[in-house]
Amino acid sequence: MSRPDVFCRSLAKSFSLLMELLVGTGQHAPQNRLPDPQVNLPEDRFAVFKKWYYELHKKWSPKIPHERLSSNLLTEEWRSGQGRASYDRESEVRRDLTKNRKSAPDANGGTMKDIMKEEPSAPAAVDRAAFQAQLDALRDREKAHTHEGDAIAAARRRLPMVEVDGATPLIGERGKVTLSDAFGGRRQLIAYYFMWNIGKPAPEQCEGCTWVTTQVTELSYLHSRDVTFAVFCQGPYEESARYRNFMGWEMPWYSAPLGSLKTLLVGRQIGRMHLVCYVRKGSKFFETYWTKIRGVEAMDNSYRLLDLTVYGRQEIWEDSPAGWPQGDIVDTLRTKGRPTAQWSRFEAGRSDNLGTNPLNRAK
């Protein structure tokens, strides 16, 4: 039986159990596990769910392989609850990244590579004077947007702050350290909380976190303002540090244990991408700002540059004229089964072994 079929049968059985529970006629008690996907179901019910699954999958996730959608659902780890947090985290982040998406112009879907092979539509060609007149009108809006951004930043600087425990433990290259150590002797700290799929190889690590972290390369300008930038990985230090080395990132890298994450991300969802700002005042430490998902685009420059081009980010959610090339966000962040930025490192001969394969841990 194919994995999509197994997944569909699991959905159908889950729905059947749910209906029995709701109407009070079933004999199934709630259990903290998914139903057995191999259970026999009437073929008519299975056919309906299978059709629904493929239509939904085709419309919303043309680039997500069936295995990625269903693999966590079908493991004993998932059924015992141990794998559920990772799957929920990935699903929720993907949903937030694409919550404004609309149906692709091509009903049959297609990858960004396929779309780029076609000659796209283009704006109307006009003389220089007509072009400049419309650009000048847009420039007025851009200036207003810039000034509003300045006003928002001014308000951000006037936010109150909340004290955090500077002794909160982290793990660095020399072993156990604290949040205060992560400041690196500077007054301020910007910490990016990197999502991590524990025990997974490099190609299965978060494409979104890889995207933004890759673009934070020159830190001297932050240092000139007494600011340290560091990554707090939400996974084991050893395997995540190997990922950092594979990617060639040079920023300070720490692992935040679960207990520390509960302290540092109190009131927020552990396992998601967060960007958090801190300040030191004497011997005390304070959190001054935090953001997530689209907010972490503050670390990015590629999208800022793409926003200036005629075709923009070329993603489905964008409001673009008919005929403009558009694809799934994953087509930008992930290429041929890997986060896009991994390929240049991999092709340069760097090892992507994170020690997650027991057979390769000695390498």
Q: What is the pLDDT of residues 285-299, one digit of tens each?
A: 999 999 999 999 999
Please tell me the predicted confidence (pLDDT) of residue 28. 42
Question: How many Å apart are CA 82 and CA 119, to the nearest integer?
Answer: 47
Q: Is the pLDDT of residue 315 over 80?
A: yes
Please tell me the predicted confidence (pLDDT) of residue 14. 53
Q: Which residue has the tokens 């926003």?
A: 307
Taking CA atoms, 262 is separated from 164, 235, 251, in Å, by 12, 13, 24
Question: How many Å apart are CA 174 and CA 152, to the nearest integer?
Answer: 39
Among 202, 206, 204, which residue's Cα sits nearest to residue 194?
206
Question: How many Å apart are CA 291 and CA 277, to the nearest integer?
Answer: 9
Judge whether 213 and 231 are in contact, CB under 8 Å.
yes
Judge whether 53 and 11 are in contact, CB under 8 Å.
yes
Among 136, 111, 105, which residue's Cα sits nearest to residue 61?
111
Token couple for 199: 């025990």
The three-point CA angle 161-164-170 to 5° equals 140
Among 326, 313, 331, 314, which residue's Cα sits nearest to residue 63?
331
Strands (E), 156-244: 162-164, 169-172, 175-178, 188-194, 227-233
Please tell me the predicted confidence (pLDDT) of residue 118. 75
Indicate the burial class of 317 (C-beta count within 10 angstroms; 0-12, 13-18, 19 or more): middle
Taking CA atoms, 109 is separated from 198, 298, 328, 358, in Å, by 32, 30, 9, 38
pLDDT tens digits, one per residue of 89-117? 444 445 554 554 444 444 334 555 565 66
Tell me the backbone φ, ψ of residue 356, rounded to 5 degrees: -85, -15
Please tell me the predicted confidence (pLDDT) of residue 15. 53
Q: Is the pLDDT of residue 210 over 80?
A: yes
**R_g over Cα of the chain:** 24
Token couple for 228: 């340290």
Judge whether 239 and 356 are in contact, CB under 8 Å.
yes
Token couple for 198: 């524990």
Neighbours of 129 (CB within 10 A): 7
Q: To the nearest whole number, what is the mean pLDDT of the chain?
A: 79
Q: Is 291 helix (H, G, I), strand (E, B) or coil?
A: strand
Q: Is 164 helix (H, G, I), strand (E, B) or coil?
A: strand
pLDDT tens digits, one per residue of 316-347? 999 999 999 999 988 889 999 999 999 999 99
Please tell me the predicted confidence (pLDDT) of residue 114. 60
Place 352 in a pLDDT band, splitting at 50, 70 and 90: very high
Place 49 in a pLDDT band, splitting at 50, 70 and 90: very low
pLDDT tens digits, one per residue of 132-185? 999 999 999 999 999 999 999 999 999 999 999 999 999 999 999 999 999 999
Question: How many Å apart are CA 200 and CA 196, to the nearest integer?
Answer: 9
Please tell me the predicted confidence (pLDDT) of residue 46. 45
Q: Which residue has the tokens 């009903």?
A: 107
Question: Whole-prediction pTM value?
Answer: 0.70
Torsion angle in degrees (nearest 10) through CA of 38, 41, 45, 46: 30
Please tell me the predicted confidence (pLDDT) of residue 116. 61
Between these two residues, 19 and 206, which has the higher pLDDT value? 206
Q: Is 186 helix (H, G, I), strand (E, B) or coil?
A: coil
Please tell me the predicted confidence (pLDDT) of residue 9. 53
Question: How many Å apart are CA 183 and CA 276, to the nearest integer?
Answer: 13
Question: How many Å apart are CA 358 and CA 363, to the nearest integer?
Answer: 10
